[in-house]
Amino acid sequence: MELKECMNFLLSVSQNKVFKYFSKLLEEHGVTPAQYGVLNCLWREGQLSPKQIGTMVYLEAPTISGILDKMQKAGLIERSVDPNSRRNVLVSATPKAYELREKIEAATRTMNEKVLENLSETEKEGLKKGLESIINAEF
């Protein structure tokens, strides 16, 4: 098989390239792509448990815990005790994170447009559907 037919190769090289580009765009707002994923969930849903966030961004508990620690130090999120169940932690975005929302969402749109700009509508659809199907498949 030629390397350009290997799905792992195609995904790794394209992901690495897009990740570097997106990281650079987000850098001036002081957030990383993974932190953007967490903020996206919190902006939409309000308060969430670390477990709920992990499910939404497809990351495991220890990884999410590390990301949340850094975000708390950077003043982007707060953790509080769930009043309904004192053993649970709830995470919410800080006012500082809400102030950054518009700029971060603009950076995300810029990244998406740049990444998709040379593709036909059919290719864009196939690409998104294909990636979603891989994410939802059992293997």
Q: Determine the Cα–Cα distance for residues 42 and 93; give it in Å rounded to an integer.
A: 6
Per CB under 8 A, does 62 bind its own copies?
Answer: no
Which is closer to its own copies, CB of 81 or CB of 119? Answer: 119
C-beta of residue 39 within 8 angstroms of C-beta of residue 101: yes
Per CB under 8 A, does 41 bind its own copies?
Answer: yes
Stretch that binds its own copies, among 8-16, 75-83, 84-92, 94-102 (CB under 8 A): 8-16
Residue 58: partners with Cβ closer than 8 Å, 6 or more residues away: 135
Per CB under 8 A, does 139 bind its own copies?
Answer: yes
String of b and e for 70-90 (b: at least 16 CB within 10 Å)?
ebeeeebbeeeeeeeeeeebb
Which is closer to its own copies, CB of 80 or CB of 110? Answer: 110
The distance of closest approach from Cβ of residue 79 to its own copies in the complex, given in angstroms and rounded to an integer, is 21
C-beta of residue 55 within 8 angstroms of C-beta of residue 135: no
C-beta of residue 36 within 8 angstroms of C-beta of residue 108: yes
Per CB under 8 A, does 61 bind its own copies?
Answer: no
Per CB under 8 A, does 95 bind its own copies?
Answer: no
Interface with its own copies by CB under 8 A: which residues?
1-19, 21-22, 33, 36-37, 40-41, 56-58, 105, 108-109, 111-112, 114-119, 122-135, 137, 139
